[in-house]
Amino acid sequence: MTVADPRAVPTARAQPRKRRRRGRSRPMSFLLHLSLLGAVVIAIFPVFWIAINSFKNYNDIVNHTTLSILPQDWTLSNYRHVLGAENHVFLTWLWNSVAIALMTTAVGVFLAATAGYALSRYRFPGYRAALNSFLVTQMFPAAILLVPIYNIVVHLGLLNTKTALVLAYSTVAVPFCVWMLKGYFDTIPISLEEAGRIDGLSPFGTFWRIVVPLSLPGLAVTCFYTFITAWNEVAFANIILIQNNSYTLPVGLRTYVFQFQQDWQYLTAGAVLVTIPAVIVFLLAQRYLVSGLTRGGVKG
């Protein structure tokens, strides 16, 4: 009777097992990557076209016989005209947009955070109706709010003011932010707040000192959403702001488009400048966006 060499067992076990390759076939993988490439081109090309045209003169933009997309003669005159002393009103529009967007973000996020925390932690008469009311408002387009909000603004004497736009934009942004933050607050253990209460914190103290620091990803998402809502909006600003020096950037840019002539070179240069603050806000909030969106959508 022969005894097997025990040293041969580890050798046999060490042999890698051939795994069956799983995955898409080459044609399917090619089609998938081709579709992704097409989606990227469709998404990026309009932005690329605007950026390139901002360095062209008017004749190069309207000359459709030119086969080259790139400018024949690169120029910065469009940016100098938009930002120059002869057109200082653009900087006024920029300041109006920044001020309104920041005030809307502060007011909207504060209201949404406190309301979302109350709906997450407390049960009171009318709780379900209050929660559903925020959801119902999201089912209708914001355009139906133009007439009633305009009438309210006129009756309050706030026409052509920044305060009117802050109230209007907060009306649009708060319902979504409440649901977003309510879902995020649901993921924070109540035991942490109970420990804070034992240490002597008030209900608002537990919210400010414990819940808010733990909710930075969710707050970053709502801040970004509220800022972009106020930054890009044009419908409310178009009917509430009636003087040139009170315009925001989206409303001011339409002054470059006339009935019979369009200053495309200035419009594209202004459009590029408009995107810079939004990109900066996105870069500041991007580290929190994914975690905030995923955790905030777990519970409702």
pLDDT band at 266, cuts 50/70/90? confident
**Burial of residue 203 (number of CB atoms within 10 Å: 0-12, 13-18, 19+):** middle
pLDDT at 12 over 50: no
d(CA 250, CA 205): 40
Distance CA 112, CA 173 (A): 9
Any bridge partners for residue 262, and if so which? Answer: 257
Write out pLDDT tens, residues 49-91.
888 888 888 887 777 655 567 777 788 888 888 887 555 788 8
Residue 163: closest CA among 177, 173, 153: 153
Domains of the chain: 79-296 (1.10.3720.10)
- Residue 297: the pLDDT is 47
pLDDT of residue 139: 81
Percentage of the chain beyond pLDDT 90 is: 21
Mean pLDDT computed over every residue of the chain: 82
Residue 19 pLDDT more than 60? no
The reported pLDDT for the residue numbered 172 is: 87
Percent of the chain with pLDDT over 70: 85
Decide if pLDDT at 193 tops 80: yes
pLDDT of residue 58: 80
- How do residues 156-181 score in pLDDT, each as one tens digit? 999 999 999 999 999 888 998 998 89
91-114: average pLDDT? 92
The H-assigned helical ranges of the chain are 8-14, 26-53, 58-62, 77-83, 89-121, 127-137, 146-156, 162-185, 190-198, 203-206, 212-214, 216-232, 235-240, 249-253, 264-296
What distance in Å separates the CA atoms of residue 218 and residue 127, rounded to the nearest whole number?
A: 22
Rounded to whole angstroms, how far apart are CA atoms 224 and 234? Answer: 18
- Model confidence over 234-254: pLDDT tens digits? 889 999 998 888 899 988 888
Q: Of residues 37 and 298, which shows the higher confidence score?
A: 37
Least confident of 20-24, 103-107, 171-175: 20-24
What's the whole-number mean pLDDT along residues 242-271? Answer: 84
Give the model confidence (pLDDT) of 277-293 as tens digits.
888 888 887 777 665 55
Q: Which two tokens stand for residue 247?
A: 């315009």
Kindly report, residue by residue over 179-192, the tens digit of the pLDDT.
889 988 988 888 88
DSSP letter, residue 243: S
* Gyration radius (Cα) of the chain, Å: 28
